[in-house]
Amino acid sequence: MDQALTTTSTKQEPAESGFFNVQPSREQIFDLEEHLRSMPQVEMPVTNHFSHGVYGRELLIPAGSVLTGHIHKFTNMNVLLEGEMSVSTEDGVQRVGAGFVVVSPPGTKRVAYAHTDCRWLTVHGTNETDIDAIEREFVVHTEQEYLAFRETQQLLKGE
């Protein structure tokens, strides 16, 4: 997850409250995200890691947080470094622990609930070190931006 749209107002575990009992649709994730924007936000510190051709964005997610991720333009890898969370995946909502790795296809939009304090790492292939430039290159913030990006990519490919 890359976005600090969170709340800790949920008093029940997701399984008890019905949260995440079914795979949320993309529209439901956007609706939830809009709702979360109106709630108190939680600080989620980011640590940036750089290596030759690789950028890693590590997010510290406090226990009890609900969050949504950015829409990524390209395939990227995500690793749960520490903790336990329920997260939407291409195979449905899964409760996962440290060591969980998922490769996200372009356009993925995730939602998660942190059962414990978590550390989530998103990995991108780039030599860029300017964080704002990396964000412009790899993520969009709305469905409309993603659809416009895809259309531009198809035009560039001559499709």
The amino acid present at 67, given as its one-letter code, is L
**Per-residue pLDDT in tens (0 to 9) along the chain, 159 residues:** 544 444 433 334 555 445 556 677 777 888 888 888 888 888 999 999 999 999 999 999 999 999 888 999 999 999 999 999 999 888 888 999 999 999 999 999 888 999 999 999 999 999 999 999 999 999 998 889 999 998 998 888 886
pTM of the predicted protein model: 0.81
Determine the Cα–Cα distance for residues 103 and 62; give it in Å rounded to an integer.
Answer: 23
Q: Which residues contact 67 (CB under 8 A, 6 or more apart)?
A: 1, 3, 4, 5, 6, 36, 44, 61, 111, 112, 114
Domain segments of the chain: what residues? 14-157
Q: Is 90 in a helix, a strand, or coil? A: coil
Q: Are 87 and 114 in contact (CB under 8 A)?
A: no
The amino acid present at 36, given as its one-letter code, is L
Q: Domain spanning 14-157: which CATH class is it, in words? A: mainly beta
